[in-house]
Amino acid sequence: MTDDFAIYVISNKRPNDVVTVQDAFEKSNVRLPWYIVLDDQDPTIEQYRQRFGDERLVIFPKQETIDSMDMGDNFQMSGSVVPRKAIWDIARQQGNRYFLVLDDDYRYFDWKFDSNGVPVFGRYEVIKNLDDVILSLLDYYKKLPSEIVTLSILQMG
């Protein structure tokens, strides 16, 4: 394990979807620390509190975050850009140098390769230890040149 890493799940007005992510984490035996990231304008914060407790929630100031950036958006729509920006500050405040950002609509985490590393389409197997996968990716990331600040992974959908 590592003490400078966390998983942040972005959510907004969808506490039921996070329940599904929590189920997916349980199926894949996630033991790494994870948090639900909400903005302070979300009218369903209390529902999140009832389901997950305060220790799982991280609430950021939405307008303050919007004011601190230029989203390049002429329509004043904030979408998922604002929480993704806020996570950099949240991670720093929590002492996390590294983090994984997920949306709130994951149903499962699975492999799409056979034991020889060949892609297999139409047959998927749930990852039994997602922590090992994440920590392997983190180890790989740490070996990359310092100019690389983000590592993205592909998802279906």
Alpha helices in the chain (DSSP H): 15-27, 45-52, 62-67, 81-93, 130-142
Residue 122 predicted with pLDDT over 80: no
DSSP for 5-26? EEEEEE-SS-HHHHHHHHHHHH
Model pLDDT for residues 62-89, shown as the tens digit of each residue: 999 988 888 776 666 667 889 999 999 9
Model pLDDT for residues 8-63, shown as the tens digit of each residue: 999 999 998 888 899 999 999 999 999 999 999 999 999 999 999 999 999 999 99
Confidence of residue 111 (pLDDT cuts 50, 70, 90): confident
d(CA 94, CA 33) in angstroms, rounded, equals 11
* β-sheet bridge partners, residue 111: 125
Cβ neighbors of 141 (< 8 A, separation 6 or more) are: 98, 148, 151
